[in-house]
A = this chain, B = another copy of it.
């Protein structure tokens, strides 16, 4: 591995910081240790069991219980679901897509209207991606240079340009609570040389992203709004009402490159770190291996975000491995195709076998769909192309994902308590 100057120090610093946490993996931490150094968000870990941890991420727009699944609201809407139903589902943070919002309705429109929260009337937290992944996956005629990416809109073929600076400007204008560094999502498979060059480019872009963000973060539409300035949970510091910029680790499916990317991204320094460049066509086992090895290189006291993952089983699995945040289009997109996740497995509601099935979609689910409608009705709506099919299917799938994360958080909390109890009972009684 060829590390830049300072990387060895980064390894030692990370090892020392993580060691504090590793020494007592199943006991509550000193909150001071876990307080992020960032001024706009704070992250508190309340319980740890194995590698998994339960915490609270506080942004200017509210507190998020982690590990959290973030529903995707591409164009300032989780397709088909009104915001009050999302609130009822317990959604605490939504993801918006910068690429899509940049094209429609345009960053300047959203900025003038007060930012995404105001625009879509969503008072809770929002995260935007940097546009890098959509440019990679959606647009035609992509051309990547050191400066940035020229691409054509998937809507009308018009030509556009994203650089780290313009992607930051866009995300500052949109005004999510958490924004992402502009990265290159490396395709899979890729040669070693291509992987390294792409990773190096992402690192240079990360530095430029951070510099632009630090210089311009006061321009967020709700900058330092008194209503949004809040005390951190432990009351020792107040949080600025600005955004938080997360870095993204790339490096393809190469463990060494992932380590290098992680350490060099840490050197740049962000209040949270994402693992990007996965779910791009690689085998699922490979995804897991890369996630596991990359997690080891990320600070344990900061939020860790795995981008674009996954199935209900996967989000539970990764949460237990210590991922704090995840997003995926799967629950919403699958819903639109009549594919529903249940405690009894996947249900393809379009199938004729459900035409006369009067039972609930998922007998174990307490969502407003499963407690009210039958499989027969859902099947009829889907087969008849009724829009309500998309609404109800999406509500159920999101409910299932959020319930899955609630169960994981509960399980980690219980695991931590069980450990404490066993420690306590092994102590001699006074």
Contacts and interface: CB of A to CB of B under 8 A. Distances in A.
A82 interface: yes
A113 B77 CA distance: 34
A149 to B, nearest CB: 23
Contacts of A109: 355-356, 376, 380
A84 interface: yes
A376 to B, nearest CB: 6
Given A109-B356, A113-B356, A387 B376 contact: no
A368 interface: yes
A372 B121 contact: yes
Contacts of A387: 79-80, 387, 390-391
Nearest to A376: B113
Interface in A351-386: 355-356, 358, 368, 372-374, 376-377, 380-381, 383-384, 386
A76 B121 contact: no
A388 B79 contact: yes
**Contact residues on A (Cβ < 8 Å of other chain), bracket:** 35 or more
A253 interface: no
A119 B386 contact: no
A163 B334 CA distance: 42
Contacts of A76: 377, 380
A113 B356 CA distance: 7
Q: How many chain copies does the complex carry?
A: 2
Q: Report which residue of A84, A356, A377, A383 has the largest number of chain B beta carbons within 10 angstroms of its beta carbon.
A: A377
Contacts of A113: 356, 358, 374, 376
A77 B383 CA distance: 13
A338 B76 CA distance: 18
The 6 closest A-B pairs by CB, nearest first: A80-B387, A105-B380, A77-B388, A77-B386, A121-B372, A75-B384
A399 to B, nearest CB: 13
B79 A119 contact: no
Q: Report which residue of A82, A114, A368 has the largest number of chain B beta carbons within 10 angstroms of its beta carbon.
A: A82
A262 interface: no
A19 B137 CA distance: 75
A17 interface: no
Contacts of A358: 113-114, 118
Interface string A389-401: 0111001000000
14 contacts: A76-B377, A77-B381, A77-B388, A78-B388, A79-B388, A80-B80, A80-B387, A82-B395, A104-B383, A105-B376, A105-B384, A119-B374, A119-B376, A121-B373
A112 interface: yes
A12 B77 CA distance: 62
A224 interface: no
A104 B373 contact: no
Given A113-B358, A372-B121, A386-B79, A104 B380 contact: yes
Interface in A156-187: none
A420 interface: no
B121 A368 contact: no
A33 to B, nearest CB: 41
A5 to B, nearest CB: 47
A142 to B, nearest CB: 23
A261 B72 CA distance: 58
A82 B389 CA distance: 10
A113 B388 CA distance: 19
Contacts of A78: 388
A120 interface: yes
A388 B82 contact: yes
Contacts of A395: 82
Contacts of A383: 104-105
A27 interface: no
B119 A384 contact: no
B82 A392 contact: yes
